[in-house]
Amino acid sequence: MKTIPFLRTVYITVLITAALLAWCFESGMLTIDWAPDDSQSYILDMIGLALTICWIPLSLKMLHFQRIRTIIQCNEPKYRTWSIIRIVLLATALIYNIFIYYLLGCNTGSFYLALMVFVAMLFIWPTHSRMEYECDMPQKKRNN
């Protein structure tokens, strides 16, 4: 399978999964019978916050790190692997924050964190030009 169509399939699958999770909670198909106390709510909120503030910058800059660029070396299977890792990082933060939003009774903090992750996902939409740029970056840096 070609790299870009495969990455787009993974990307769209993540967004559909998140939308289906939210729809299932909103329609009442999924309900949570567990009511966390204040300290548990705080810990769950902080985990969501830590995931979001750590993984958004990491996933946006991941393929620009020198060590990862040398691993990729214009190799499409390695680029695909690292791009999937980037998508999965944001996907876990997105799905976690949606789940916590409904677990804690529509906690607006988790909603805004999920919204921030969604916006960050818009910046990693797989394209051919992005792949060429991220693969050719090590050679351009060496030549300058």
Q: Counting beta carbons within 10 angstroms of the beta carbon of residue 1, is it exposed (0 to 12), middle (13 to 18) or buried (19 or more)?
A: exposed
Could you give the number of structural domains in the chain? 1
In a domain, 74, yes or no: yes
* Within a domain: 134: no
Question: Quick check: is 93 in a domain?
Answer: yes
Which residue segment(s) compose the domain that 97 sits in?
A: 3-20+46-129
Q: How far is CA 137 from CA 24, 65, 81, 141, in A?
A: 42, 10, 17, 6
91 falls within a domain: yes
71 within domain boundaries: yes
Two tokens, residue 80: 């695909």
Distance between alpha carbon 66 and the CA centroid of its chain, in Å?
Answer: 21
Report which of residues 45 and 74 the model is more confident about: 45
Average pLDDT score over residue span 111-120: 94
Whether residue 94 lies inside any domain: the answer is yes
Q: What is the DSSP letter of 62?
A: G
First and final CA of the chain: distance in angstroms? 34
**The amino acid at 33:** D
CA triple 70-75-78, angle to 5 deg = 80
Q: Does 140 fall in a domain?
A: no
- Tens digit of each residue's pLDDT (9 = 90 or more) over 80-102: 999 999 999 999 999 999 999 98
pTM for the complete prediction? 0.85
> Cα 26–56–30 angle (5° rounding)?
15
Query: Residue 72 pLDDT > 50, yes or no?
Result: yes
What was the pLDDT predicted at 137?
Answer: 54
